[in-house]
């Protein structure tokens, strides 16, 4: 990991380096994604079948593209009962947390006959993308599906790539069934995003696409925005630990590595006011890496985007934290709750040494789909509000409108929109 003293210039350089990982910088892949999307848009299922055979080595048909009840039943036989128990416990925590996010419609009336309000409406149909490939991610299924269910979405469909045997990971299927997915399709990659956005003979068009994926999936989501809604364009995983002299270096090191193992592009950053803690964390990391299964990925991540930032005081450290705007932020200080009040930009904030990042990934309840690449400056975690729309409600009585019609006409005329003014004026032309 690179050890850097925090200055204005060093933070600028760091941010520039981290932004290299953003999906906006992958022009070559973007061209390939656009070709795939155009093919799916023009040729529907035929394109899906061609790409699935090319990329996943599986021949699909209209009869086999959809996961059957029998396949789901088979998956339950293959998944350990203990894991199913844990999935159900996690589901309860996730559901309880997201229930507290629900927003209700409201109306406000005044004696003059003015009624204003807001109507909350769930989306009709949502598509959830779940990665396949090298690993299964049942936690991603839960985190994307459960908020949609809590929001009241009518229909949830899921796309996930099949393995070479033509089947979907059993844990993915079990998690999807437990969470309440209505239909599952064996399609992955940019082509799956195209199918969800445009619709094909087999896969219906959705109102919004959510879920993580590789760079091709991220670029595809970015490209189809406008045909359908998306949650965000996600980048590689990130963790930032803010620590003072009270932090346990061994815990900090372990937490940094929990995200470094995701991807060679993942970033792991320690911001600390203590040189002693920094040195001890570095030593602990070296010891851990030797024994961890994904040590090659971890080492590449640390070499590329691993930093230890030394701050002269806590205010300087917090300024750096806010500038980086990390996906995951752990605060391990003497007073983590007090420190937290000064943090403006972070996807999820973990307070205290017993609140390590994997707690949020799997079990606590808050969503682990979080803004990356500095977008925590203006984006929020995925939640119930991701799956609803707000409609404004306006109702004026004639008396209420009469009291302010001249003001509206004045405003409209100031903008040169005389038809706007006339729309109000005609209602009172017989009273003049």
pLDDT band at 409 (very low <50, low <70, confident <90, very high): very high
Whether the CB-CB separation of 321 and 11 falls below 8 Å is answered with no
- Same domain as 178, residue 104: yes
Whether the CB-CB separation of 40 and 195 falls below 8 Å is answered with yes
- Same domain as 222, residue 258: no
109-146 pLDDT, tens digit each: 999 999 999 999 999 999 999 998 667 889 999 999 99
Three-class DSSP category at 228: strand
- Same domain as 180, residue 315: no
328-375 pLDDT, tens digit each: 999 999 999 999 999 999 999 999 999 999 999 999 999 999 999 999
The answer to whether position 377 is within a domain reads no
Q: At what angle do helices 170-179 and 81-99 cross, to 10 degrees?
A: 40
- Same domain as 226, residue 91: yes
Cα 237–chain centre separation:
11
Q: Which CATH number goes with the domain that contains 55?
A: 3.40.50.1980
Q: How far apart are CA 200 and CA 72, in angstroms?
A: 23
Closest of 13, 11, 21 to residue 375, by C-alpha: 21
- Same domain as 296, residue 154: no
- Same domain as 161, residue 62: yes
- Same domain as 16, residue 62: no
Q: What DSSP assignment string belongs to 34-84?
A: HHHHHHHHHHTHHHHHHHHHHHH-----TTTSBPPHHHHHHHHHHS-HHHH
Q: What DSSP assignment string belongs to 176-202?
A: HHHHT-SEEE---HHHHHHHHHH--SS
Residues present in the chain in total: 432
Active site residue 368: no
Q: What is the maximal distance between C-alpha atoms in the chain?
A: 87
The answer to whether position 385 is within a domain reads no
Which tokens go with 61? 């048909």
The answer to whether position 380 is within a domain reads no
- Same domain as 223, residue 147: yes
* Domain termination site, one of 348, 364, 380: 364
* Domain termination site, one of 364, 390, 416: 364
With b meaning 16 or more CB within 10 Å and e meaning fewer, what string describes 193-205?
Answer: bbbbbbbbebbee
Q: How far apart are CA 333 and CA 242, in angstroms?
A: 7
* Domain termination site, one of 311, 342, 364: 364
Q: How many domains does the chain have?
A: 3
- Same domain as 256, residue 197: no
Active site residue 327: yes
The answer to whether position 197 is within a domain reads yes
Q: How far apart are CA 356 and CA 248, in angstroms?
A: 12
The answer to whether position 374 is within a domain reads no
The answer to whether position 391 is within a domain reads no
The answer to whether position 309 is within a domain reads yes
Q: How far apart are CA 330 and CA 238, in angstroms?
A: 11
Q: How far apart are CA 106 and CA 118, in angstroms?
A: 5
Q: Could you give phi then psi for residue 264, rounded to 5 degrees?
A: -65, -20
Indicate which residue of 30, 238, 261, 327 is catalytic.
327
Q: Check residue 134 and give its pLDDT.
A: 65
Q: Check residue 21 and give its pLDDT.
A: 80
* Strand pairing class (115-122; 106-109): antiparallel
Q: How far apart are CA 314 and CA 377, in angstroms?
A: 20
The answer to whether position 387 is within a domain reads no
- Domain holding 57, by residue range, is 25-230
Mean per-residue pLDDT, 46-68: 96
Q: How far apart are CA 146 and CA 180, in angstroms?
A: 8
- Same domain as 94, residue 72: yes
Indicate which residue of 30, 238, 262, 328 is catalytic.
328
Please identify which residue in the block is written with the tokens 């004696």.
111
- Same domain as 410, residue 296: no
pLDDT band at 263 (very low <50, low <70, confident <90, very high): confident
Q: How far apart are CA 73 and CA 174, in angstroms?
A: 9
277-322 pLDDT, tens digit each: 999 999 999 999 999 999 999 999 999 999 999 999 999 999 999 9
- Same domain as 135, residue 163: yes
Q: How many CB atoms lie within 10 A of CB 326?
A: 31
Q: What DSSP assignment string belongs to 368-388?
A: -----TTGGGT-----GGGGE
Select the more confidently predicted residue: 213 or 71. Answer: 71
């Amino acid at each position: 990991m690179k050890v850097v003293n925090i200055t204005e210039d060093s933070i600028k350089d760091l941010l520039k380096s981290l932004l290299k990982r953003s999906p906006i910088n992958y022009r070559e892949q973007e061209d390939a994604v656009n070709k795939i999307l155009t093919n799916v848009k023009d040729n529907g299922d035929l394109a899906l079948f061609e790409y699935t055979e090319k990329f996943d080595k599986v021949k699909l048909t209209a009869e086999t593209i959809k996961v059957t009840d029998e396949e789901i039943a088979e998956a339950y036989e293959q998944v350990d009962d203990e894991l199913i128990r844990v999935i159900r416990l996690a589901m309860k925590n996730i559901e309880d947390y997201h229930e507290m996010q629900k927003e209700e419609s409201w109306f406000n009336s005044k004696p003059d006959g003015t009624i204003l309000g807001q109507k909350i409406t769930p989306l009709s149909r949502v598509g959830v993308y779940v990665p396949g490939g090298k690993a299964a991610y049942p936690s991603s299924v839960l985190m994307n599906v459960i908020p949609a269910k809590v929001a009241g979405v009518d229909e949830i469909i899921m796309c996930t790539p099949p393995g070479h045997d033509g089947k979907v990971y059993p844990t993915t299927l079990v998690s999807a069934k437990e969470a309440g997915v209505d239909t599952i399709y064996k399609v992955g990659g940019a082509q799956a995003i195209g199918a969800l956005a445009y619709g094909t003979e087999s896969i219906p068009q959705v109102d919004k696409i959510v879920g993580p994926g590789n760079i091709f999936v991220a670029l595809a989501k970015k490209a189809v925005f406008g045909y359908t809604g998306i949650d965000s364009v996600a980048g590689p995983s990130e963790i930032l630990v803010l620590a003072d002299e009270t932090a346990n270096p061994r815990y900090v090191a372990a937490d940094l590595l929990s995200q470094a193992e995701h991807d060679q592009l993942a970033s792991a950053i320690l911001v600390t006011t203590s040189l002693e803690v920094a040195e001890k964390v570095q030593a602990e990391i070296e010891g851990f890496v030797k024994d961890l299964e994904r040590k090659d990925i971890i080492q590449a991540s640390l070499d590329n985007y691993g930093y230890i930032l030394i701050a002269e005081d806590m205010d300087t450290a917090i300024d750096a934290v806010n500038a980086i705007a990390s996906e995951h932020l752990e605060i391990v200080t003497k007073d983590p709750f007090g420190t937290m009040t000064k943090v403006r930009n972070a996807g999820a904030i973990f307070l205290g040494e017993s609140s390590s990042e994997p707690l949020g990934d799997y079990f606590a309840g808050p969503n682990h789909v979080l803004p990356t690449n500095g977008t925590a400056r203006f984006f929020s975690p995925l939640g119930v509000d991701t799956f609803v729309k707000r409609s404004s409600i306006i109702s004026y009585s004639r008396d209420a409108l009469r009291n302010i019609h001249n003001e509206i006409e004045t405003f409209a005329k100031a903008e040169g929109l005389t038809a706007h003014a006339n729309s109000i004026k005609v209602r009172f032309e017989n009273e003049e």
